Amino acid sequence: MEEICDYLASLQQEKNSLLTEMEHFAKTHHIPIMESSSLNMMIQFLRIQQPKRILEIGTAIGYSALRMADALPNVHIVTIEREAVRCRQAHDYISRAHGAKNRITIIEGDALEVFAQVEAFGHFDAIFIDAAKGQYRRFFELYTPLLQDNGCVYTDNVLYKGLVAKENIENRRASGFVKKIKAYNQWLMDHPAFITEILPVGDGVAVSLKKA
């Protein structure tokens, strides 16, 4: 599988110097960003979908927001980050990206507490969830009322390093995360208002289509 990932990575076009710098910074400082394979897949889905407005829950340093903005020149992205230092880093990187500053809005705060600020931007065509895994369902329930019919929710890390497929996990902390993610996955699959498929790319991405 690793050889396949390396092969697919070799086919990708080189990223610009700012994105490469961000990848290096994230790796050096152990800042989680979406895996390349799953991010590339999601961006391809977004190209097909052509959203005008995206909500991202979990900015980190702004890497995925900039990748989406680079691929979708007409999109506006509203992104939420609760850590002040990450917000400052994201602002810095976004300000250095040509043409991105006016198309990406960062909201600093806990995603469960800033709904009113997000709601002021109106409805969204896509929502990307990549924040506290234990809160995935609460994020989904809180923000999907702002999702247009036929809009999509993309949730990262839903396979959690493959641990969702294991019966017994010795690490208690990991076991707790896995239980929450498995419950979230099942809840998504059973949701009457969405059609969900979980794709085994990267760390697993759930794509949930809102029914009209």
For residue range 137-177, what is the model confidence (pLDDT) as tens digits?
999 999 999 999 999 999 999 998 888 888 777 777 778 88
In a domain, 180, yes or no: no
- Residue 189 assigned as binding residue: no
Angle made by CA atoms 8, 9, 13, in degrees to the nearest 5: 110
- Residue 149 assigned as binding residue: no
In a domain, 197, yes or no: no
In a domain, 166, yes or no: no
- Residue 42 assigned as binding residue: no
Residue span of the structural domain in which 134 resides: 2-156
In a domain, 128, yes or no: yes
AA letter at 116: A
In a domain, 164, yes or no: no
Of 35, 30, 37, 95, nearest to 62 (Cα)? 95
The pLDDT of residue 76 is: 98
- Residue 97 assigned as binding residue: no
Whether the CA torsion 148, 151, 153, 154 is positive or negative: it is: negative
In the chain, the number of structural domains is 1
Q: What number is the average pLDDT over the span 35-52?
A: 96
Q: What number is the average pLDDT over the span 55-76?
A: 97
- Residue 157 assigned as binding residue: yes
The pLDDT of residue 170 is: 74
H/E stretch holding 116? helix 115-119
The pLDDT of residue 15 is: 78
Angle made by CA atoms 39, 41, 44, in degrees to the nearest 5: 110
> Global pTM?
0.93
- Residue 119 assigned as binding residue: no
Per cent of the chain over pLDDT 70 is 99
In a domain, 6, yes or no: yes
Residues 6 or more apart whose CB falls under 8 angstroms from that of 88 comprise none
In a domain, 200, yes or no: no
The yes-or-no verdict on residue 102 having pLDDT over 80 is yes
